[in-house]
Structure 1
Amino acid sequence: MRAYGFREYGGPEVQEYLDLDPVEPMAGELLVEVAAAGVNPVDWKIRAGHMKDVRPLELPAVLGTEVSGVVRAVGKDVEGFAVGDEVFGSTAPDSGAYAEFALTTAAATAHKPPHVSFTDAATLPVAAATAYDALVQLGLEEGQTLLINGASGGVGVATAQLARDQGLTVVGVAGPDKRELIESLGAIFVEYGPGIVQRVHDLLPKVDAIFDLAGGDGLRAVAPLLDGGPIVTAGDPATAAEFGGVMVERDRTARVLAIVAGHVAEGKLDPRVEDVVPFEEAEKAVAAVEVGHAKGKVVISLR
């Protein structure tokens, strides 16, 4: 099968198309003919070797962790799925989404609702599900204020919409070119950078919680806005810990996937797919996310 991945850790220059042997599902897995693959920051971070100590891979490896498509084979001990089912989910260990076929873990795979496109479904296992998990973990009540630090990517876009529907006041921190996107989500836009604490205070009396998607100095800049409130981060637990914050606790089950897909089917959640890139141009999709220019989600299409 044809896939897009890397043979060694490094920058974008190590990415290449691979011709790999066909894969077969192990116990608890599904073989999915890929229709679409979501592109996420974690993809290039894995390729760059930032996660090799916690997520070692057998090289060559295929990029991508979220996928939608059609079941072509069912592994042992899998119930509730059959060949021909339209599904979406997270890739199994040592499998990747940027390929003609991918393995998914059945426990982290759900049936795709008929009214949800393959493109939208491919954005849900990482971005929307992470947003849902973070909001459950934060446990905010209607009327409270959530600041999303780095709100213009896929996770931030989903979080803003889900939080808004929970009756929260949402503040979205992002670059100046992202104002229109943030405000279209029903969030209050605040530009990142020096003076951000004062800019937020000029708009709101208080912030009750922070969901961090930026990390580093960006998180340090907004942390003083909280007076003992919770901080949950999706990517920088070390910096979050400086302020008593923690890493988002991922559920990673079909139950959550079904919930977020239901929100999409009902029109409550728009994944905001900014660009759909053909498989033959996968490098462009990764680059758009790696350099931080994407507004919303980028998806690779294989059909």
Structure 2
Amino acid sequence: MIAYGFSEYGGPETEYLLDVPMPEPGAGQILVAVHVAGVNPADWKVRAGNRKDTVPITLPAVLGREVSGTVVETGSGVDEFTVGDEVFGATASGHGGYAQYTVLNASSSAHKPDSVSWSAAATLPVAAGTAYDVLRGLALVSGSTLLVLGAGGGVGSSVLQLARAKGIEVLAVAGAGKQEWVEYLGAEFVAAGPQYIDSISRPVHGIVDLVGGETLRAAAEKTGAPVVSVADPVQATQWGGSGAHRDRTTAAFTHLAELVATGVLSPRIDHVFPLERAGEALALVEDGHTLGKVVVQVR
């Protein structure tokens, strides 16, 4: 089959189209004909070698960690999915999503509702899933104020939508070019920059951090609020917080799909690339200035 990946750790120059054997599902796994693969910052970070300690790979490796597609084969012990089912989920360890076929763990897959597009479904396991998990970790109640650092990207925009649905007020720190977007999602815009924290005068009850570094330090120091950090979990623990505790289960993904189907969550898909142009898709995400999600359409 055709896939897109990288031959060694490094920059974009290590990426290329691969001709690799068709994967086979093991026990508890499903083989999926990929329709759409989501593109995330984690993809280029894996390629760059930033995730060596947490993401084991065998080179050459296929990129991508979330897909939607159709089940074409099931492994032993799989009862909840059958051939022909339309599904989405997180790719199994050792498998990538930028490919004609990939393998998912059945326990990290869910059925795709008819009313949810292939593209929207493919963006749920990573960005929307992370947003759902960090909000669950903070457990804020209606009327609380949430500070989101780096609010304009895929995870941030999902946090804003899910928080609004819970009646949580959001202060959204983002670049000037994303002001209209975060305000459209119902948040109060806070311009990013070295002195951003000076413009925050009201009590904050929780922090979602997608930036890390000095931006997180300033927020934690001034507000004293509980923090869940995706970008800098080590620093978050220094302030009594934590990293994101991911729930990549069928139940969690099914709930996210229901939120999309009912209009609570609306993934924004700004760019769609064919598989042969997956490198352009990843470069766009690596550049760091996209508003909505970038996806690779395989079928």
Matched residue SS, 1:290: helix
- The residue aligned with 2:188 is 188
- The residue aligned with 1:57 is 57
- The residue aligned with 1:91 is 91
In 2, Cα distance between equivalents of 1:250 and 1:53: 17
CA RMSD, 1 decimal? 1.0
Is this contact kept in 1: 2:31–2:71, CA < 8 A?
Answer: yes
Query: Offset of 1:225 from its aligned partner?
Result: 3.4
- The residue aligned with 1:218 is 215
Map 1:237-252 onto structure 2 (within 5 A).
237-252=233-248
- The residue aligned with 1:164 is 164
State the Cα deviation string for residues 35-54 of structure 1 (Å, max 9, x = none). Answer: 00001111111110011122
List alignment gaps of at least 5 residues for structure 2: none
State the Cα deviation string for residues 81-115 of structure 1 (Å, max 9, x = none). Answer: 01000000000000000000010010000000000
Query: Offset of 1:197 from its aligned partner?
Result: 1.4
Moved over 3 A (4+): none
From 262, 265, 287, the counterpart of 2:283: 287
- The residue aligned with 2:251 is 255
Matched residue SS, 1:22: coil
Map 1:1-303 onto structure 2 (within 5 A).
1-201=1-201, 205-227=202-224, 229-303=225-299
Is this contact kept in 2: 1:197–1:224, CA < 8 A?
Answer: no
What is the aligned residue count?
299
Matched residue SS, 2:186: coil
When the two structures are superposed, what TM-score results if normalisation uses the length of structure 1?
A: 0.97
When the two structures are superposed, what TM-score results if normalisation uses the length of structure 2?
A: 0.98
Is this contact kept in 2: 1:207–1:225, CA < 8 A?
Answer: no
Q: What residue identity is the alignment partner of 2:220?
A: A
Matched residue SS, 2:204: coil
In 2, Cα distance between equivalents of 1:54 and 1:284: 26
Matched residue SS, 1:160: helix
Query: Offset of 1:224 from its aligned partner?
Result: 2.6
Matched residue SS, 2:219: helix
Is this contact kept in 2: 1:131–1:156, CA < 8 A?
Answer: yes
Query: Offset of 1:237 from its aligned partner?
Result: 1.1
Matched residue SS, 2:208: strand
Query: Offset of 1:33 from its aligned partner?
Result: 0.3
State the Cα deviation string for residues 154-180 of structure 1 (Å, max 9, x = none). Answer: 111111000010000011111000001
In 1, Cα distance between equivalents of 2:17 and 2:289: 24
Q: What residue identity is the alignment partner of 1:219?
A: L
State the Cα deviation string for residues 199-224 of structure 1 (Å, max 9, x = none). Answer: 122xxx21111000111222123223
In 2, Cα distance between equivalents of 1:221 and 1:281: 40
Is this contact kept in 1: 2:194–2:215, CA < 8 A?
Answer: no
Query: Offset of 1:242 from its aligned partner?
Result: 2.8
Is this contact kept in 1: 2:145–2:169, CA < 8 A?
Answer: yes
Is this contact kept in 2: 1:206–1:225, CA < 8 A?
Answer: no
State the Cα deviation string for residues 138-195 of structure 1 (Å, max 9, x = none). Answer: 0101100011111111111111000010000011111000001111110111111122
Amino-acid identity (%): 52
In 2, Cα distance between equivalents of 1:82 and 1:108: 15
